[in-house]
Amino acid sequence: MNQLSLLQQIVLLLAALALFLSFVLLAQARLVAAIHAFAWQGVLVAAVTLVVGLAGSTHHLYFSAGLTLALKGLLIPWMLHRLARRLNLSRHTELLYHPALVIMAAVLLVIFSYWLVEPMVEQALVFTRNIIAVSLAVVLIGLLMMVFRRQAVAQVLGFMSMENGLFLAAVSATAGMPLVVELGVAFDVLVAMVLFGVFFFQISESIDSLNVDRLNRLTEVDVSP
């Protein structure tokens, strides 16, 4: 097995911390604390981008790092914070169902990611394999969070942490997507966040809460009179 360089080790460490924060996000019942965890994850992804940029000679990664830090580490958490305040959710705690089981499921997802990636990059470096597995795990745990959390803001956090995982994969496995794609994705994420904000208000107006379990009028056979 070839020795990993220092920079690669740093990238792996940061990515592992991002994965750890995914677990925190999944189990954190307090909304504001979850938003903070998400912000830290954004900062870590930005740091990974910066280190990869330093390691290689891809200059546009510095720009990406700045963009990620601004968007995922500062702007989106700030928007979520403001929304939580305006919707009186600052002290909101969500009731989690079977937290231990969900965490176990997340652990299984991490193992699954490694299993999936194992044959894919057999010939490639250990580094690439690890980083793709970790980012896939972040994506899948984000997905799990969207399935299990019943609170609209928490679901959005899951969505955004999926985006973090995707960005991590793009940056560390392939040294960043072409700039036009990166800008497009960032634009889409920003617009999505603005729309999510609009929807929080529409949902709380229509069901008096942000618990999406109460969005249950549309079923397969019955149509409300």
Residues of this chain that bind other proteins (CB under 8 A): 116, 119-122, 132, 136, 139, 142-143, 146, 152, 155, 159, 162-163, 165-166, 169-170, 173-175, 177-178, 180-181, 184-185, 187-188, 191-192, 195-196, 198-199, 202-203, 205-207, 212, 215-218, 220-224
- Please identify, using beta-carbon distances, which residue of 17 and 58 lies nearer to other proteins: 58
CB 45, CB 167: distance < 8 Å: yes
Q: How far is the CB of 218 from other proteins (least distance, A)?
A: 5
CB 42, CB 71: distance < 8 Å: yes
DSSP category for residue 121: T
- Taking the CA atoms of residue 7, residue 179, residue 137 and residue 92 in that order, the dihedral angle to the nearest 10 degrees is 110
- Please identify, using beta-carbon distances, which residue of 91 and 219 lies nearer to other proteins: 219
Dist CA 54 CA 193 (whole Å)? 30
Q: How far is the CB of 169 from other proteins (least distance, A)?
A: 5
| Alpha carbon 106 to its chain's center | 14
- Please identify, using beta-carbon distances, which residue of 82 and 118 lies nearer to other proteins: 118
| Alpha carbon 36 to its chain's center | 12
Q: How far is the CB of 18 from other proteins (least distance, A)?
A: 15
- Taking the CA atoms of residue 43, residue 45, residue 46 and residue 52 in that order, the dihedral angle to the nearest 10 degrees is 150
Dist CA 164 CA 152 (whole Å)? 19
- Please identify, using beta-carbon distances, which residue of 126 and 192 lies nearer to other proteins: 192
- Please identify, using beta-carbon distances, which residue of 22 and 155 lies nearer to other proteins: 155
For the chain, helix (H) and strand (E) counts, in that order, are 8, 0
Q: How far is the CB of 29 from other proteins (least distance, A)?
A: 20
- Please identify, using beta-carbon distances, which residue of 35 and 137 lies nearer to other proteins: 137
Q: How far is the CB of 80 from other proteins (least distance, A)?
A: 16
Dist CA 128 CA 49 (whole Å)? 15
Q: How far is the CB of 125 from other proteins (least distance, A)?
A: 12
